[in-house]
Chains A and B, each alone.
Chain A
Amino acid sequence: MSPRAVGARLEIAGLGKNFRGLRAVHDVSFTVPAGAIHALIGPNGAGKTTIFNMVAGVYAPSAGTVTLDGREISGLRPDQICDAGVGRTFQIVRPFKGLSVLENVTVGALHRHPHLPDARAKAEAILGGLGLHDRRHHLAESLTLPDRKRLEVARALATEPKLLLLDEVMAGLRPTEIDVMVAFLRELNAQSGITILLIEHVMRAVMALAAEVVVVSYGEKIAEGTPNEIARNQSVLDVYLGEEEVA
């Protein structure tokens, strides 16, 4: 990774979002230190993606603030937040279907490398790291789901973020593929110091990657701690892990 991809500290304070009276997120606060990997977990509909969308600028928060390295970014447009150093993937993958894999990632790289050949070279390098290099001339719509997930990560990384938001990038991957993705993210974090916040249902990946886990339920934070603390927290077990064995 290039030298500017140094991790940023994310601070979420009193964040809230209402949709026409529906309280999707209420008073959520947590911090991800620069260079850390944290996970955001919770049952379906708990508000995880809504929190992501507020960090990424898709929604303006109804209450609270999001700050990146001390600079308030809440209320900015998504492209401005990308410019501030936040890269994100979409839970339901959204590749540029009619473009090739390489062109998809090149679009991301153009943000910091406005000259097309430079952006393409940057994109090639990222695709190599994610094992997509031999499929770079395929149309994105022809990729399998696991490859589309990798493409989401590649495209976000091409913008050279200081904070990477990963929304369920492990979902739909086979266990061996999960291990590859985990190893890639760990290596990326170790090499570049990029901060990572991931929403994940795959506990195997959460346990392997996250230093700390934030648990939300019905739009509120109910617990925060190391994976092991979370695995033993009774209120978490009640709402979320009840039927699942923690790997």
Chain B
Amino acid sequence: MSRLINGVPPRILAMLAVLLALLIAAPALLGGYGLSVLILVLYFAYVGQAWNIMMGFAGQLSLGHALYAGLGGYAAAGLYFHYGIGPWAGVFVAVAAAVIAGGIVGYLGFRFSLAGVYFALLTIAFAEFTRIGFDNWPWAGGSGGLFLKIERNVVDIANLRGGPVLFYYMILILAVGAFVLCRALLESKLGRYWLAIREDAEAAQAVGVPVLRCKMLAVTISAALTAVAGVWNAFYYNNLFPETAFGISRSIEITLSPIIGGLGTLFGPFVGAVVLTGLGEIFTDLSDWLHIAGMKQIFYGLALLVIVMYRPAGIWPWLARRLGLEERKS
């Protein structure tokens, strides 16, 4: 613990403590709508953090992260639906499935030196194969989907059945845990090796970095974390369809918060999730109020365009400078 907060200025620690206290108190302070928005923010912060390990730290572009979230969700939901096996056991199966899938994608891509967009295409292809497979797999409900019974009025932590407050605290723990894990990773040999690979893999290898092994660790750790989000997602929404679980739009939406917030930074995924979810809600309300269908998507797209144009390194590095909180961009 002391190692984790070592070297962090007291001012940042104090701000983080206040933020955490507010997040813990949020269910008492916010109404149902506010809480549902905050749940979305934390979900995107969490999956963004997971994806950031691959792209932001190790520099490997994955546009198929829905594969890991989808496999995780289906594994845990399927076990619960068919055999009554709760998600606390199911999550191990979910993580194992995602790690195997990530291992296959990573090994094919990295062993045969597929770089940049070609690697990204491979990740999309695997997510798409899997989507088609699940469309035709009766055990998983096929294209008709898999549904869990909605039980909002119980609090059954063992089976993750309950209302929004339960899921809020689950995703809060996950988001905080992922943040702490990523900080610990960045401050380790493996984390530094990832940054070196991101900057120049050949030069990294010349100073003793086992490039293939480090990249494999990046993809499998990232896939494992993403699978946990998939489990949470399945039990929160109580339904799974191959079209949405493995679709490209799910993959893209995972990448947005770290890109908008700041690739390779620890706070970027969180800041990006706040901004993106906030904008999404505002534009939804605005288009309802003006009765213009599709306005949300257009404005959302424009907003992303503007942010990427004017803050290409993301919002967080700029915000941190404005607040006088230099997060050493390493």
Binding site for B on A (CB under 8 A): 56, 58, 77-79, 82-83, 87-88, 90, 94-100, 103, 106-108, 110-111, 114-116, 119, 155-156, 158-159
Q: Which of A77, A98, A107, A114 contacts B207 (CB 8 A)?
A: A107
A82 touches B192 (CB 8 A): no
- Chain A proximity of B195: nearest CB distance (Å): 6
Residues in B179-206 with C-beta less than 8 Å from chain A: 187-189, 192-193, 195-196, 198-200, 202-206
Known: A96-B200, A99-B199, A116-B187. A79 touches B205 (CB 8 A): yes
B187 touches A108 (CB 8 A): no
Q: Does B271 contact A (CB under 8 A)?
A: no
Given contacts A79-B208, A107-B209, A110-B192, 12 further A-B contacts (CB under 8 A): A77-B210, A78-B205, A82-B206, A90-B206, A95-B199, A99-B196, A99-B199, A103-B192, A107-B204, A110-B208, A156-B206, A156-B207
Q: Which of B189, B192, B207, B209 has the most CB of A within 10 A?
A: B207
- Chain B proximity of A185: nearest CB distance (Å): 19
In the complex the two chains form, what is the Cα distance from A202 to B10 in whole Å?
A: 52
Chain B 201-238 interface mask (CB, 8 Å, partner A; 1/0): 01111111111000000000000000000000000000
- Chain A proximity of B84: nearest CB distance (Å): 45
- Chain A proximity of B201: nearest CB distance (Å): 10
In the complex the two chains form, what is the Cα distance from A17 to B315 in whole Å?
A: 49
In the complex the two chains form, what is the Cα distance from A40 to B3 in whole Å?
A: 47
- Chain A proximity of B7: nearest CB distance (Å): 10
Majority secondary structure, B binding face: helix
Closest Cβ neighbor of A108 among chain B residues: B207
B196 touches A79 (CB 8 A): no
B195 touches A99 (CB 8 A): yes
Known: A103-B330, A116-B187. A90 touches B195 (CB 8 A): no
In the complex the two chains form, what is the Cα distance from A207 to B206 in whole Å?
A: 28
Binding site for A on B (CB under 8 A): 187-189, 192-193, 195-196, 198-200, 202-211, 328-330
In the complex, chain A residues whose CB is within 8 Å of the CB of B205: 77-79, 82
- Chain B proximity of A225: nearest CB distance (Å): 30
Q: Which of B207, B211, B328 contacts A159 (CB 8 A)?
A: B207
In the complex the two chains form, what is the Cα distance from A6 to B189 in whole Å?
A: 25
Q: Which of B202, B207, B210 contacts A58 (CB 8 A)?
A: B202
In the complex, chain A residues whose CB is within 8 Å of the CB of B330: 99-100, 103
A79 touches B209 (CB 8 A): yes
A108 touches B200 (CB 8 A): no
- Chain A proximity of B203: nearest CB distance (Å): 4
- Chain A proximity of B9: nearest CB distance (Å): 16
Q: Which of A56, A94, A110, A159 contacts B193 (CB 8 A)?
A: A110
Q: Which of B189, B195, B211 contacts A79 (CB 8 A)?
A: B211
For the complex of A and B, list the 7 residue pairs with the smallest distance between their C-beta atoms, beginning with the closest.
Answer: A111-B208, A96-B199, A82-B208, A94-B203, A108-B207, A78-B205, A107-B196
Closest Cβ neighbor of A107 among chain B residues: B196
A108 touches B195 (CB 8 A): no
Closest Cβ neighbor of B214 among chain A residues: A79
In the complex, chain B residues whose CB is within 8 Å of the CB of A77: 205, 210
B206 touches A56 (CB 8 A): yes
Known: A98-B199, A99-B199. A107 touches B192 (CB 8 A): yes
13 A-B Cβ contacts within 8 A?
Answer: A82-B205, A82-B208, A87-B207, A96-B203, A97-B200, A99-B199, A100-B328, A103-B195, A107-B196, A110-B192, A114-B189, A155-B207, A156-B207
In the complex the two chains form, what is the Cα distance from A98 to B207 in whole Å?
A: 17
In the complex, chain A residues whose CB is within 8 Å of the CB of B211: 79
A106 touches B192 (CB 8 A): yes
Q: Which of A87, A98, A114, A119 has the most CB of B within 10 A?
A: A98
In the complex the two chains form, what is the Cα distance from A95 to B215 in whole Å?
A: 20
In the complex, chain B residues whose CB is within 8 Å of the CB of A87: 207
Known: A58-B202, A96-B200. A159 touches B208 (CB 8 A): yes
- Chain B proximity of A44: nearest CB distance (Å): 22
Q: Which of B189, B208, B209, B329 has the most CB of A within 10 A?
A: B208
- Chain B proximity of A155: nearest CB distance (Å): 6
B208 touches A108 (CB 8 A): yes
In the complex, chain B residues whose CB is within 8 Å of the CB of A116: 187-189, 192
In the complex, chain A residues whose CB is within 8 Å of the CB of B209: 79, 107, 111
A82 touches B207 (CB 8 A): yes
In the complex, chain A residues whose CB is within 8 Å of the CB of B204: 96, 107
In the complex the two chains form, what is the Cα distance from A95 to B204 in whole Å?
A: 9
In the complex, chain A residues whose CB is within 8 Å of the CB of B199: 95-99
B206 touches A78 (CB 8 A): yes
In the complex the two chains form, what is the Cα distance from A90 to B207 in whole Å?
A: 11
In the complex the two chains form, what is the Cα distance from A225 to B47 in whole Å?
A: 62
Closest Cβ neighbor of B209 among chain A residues: A79
A96 touches B196 (CB 8 A): yes
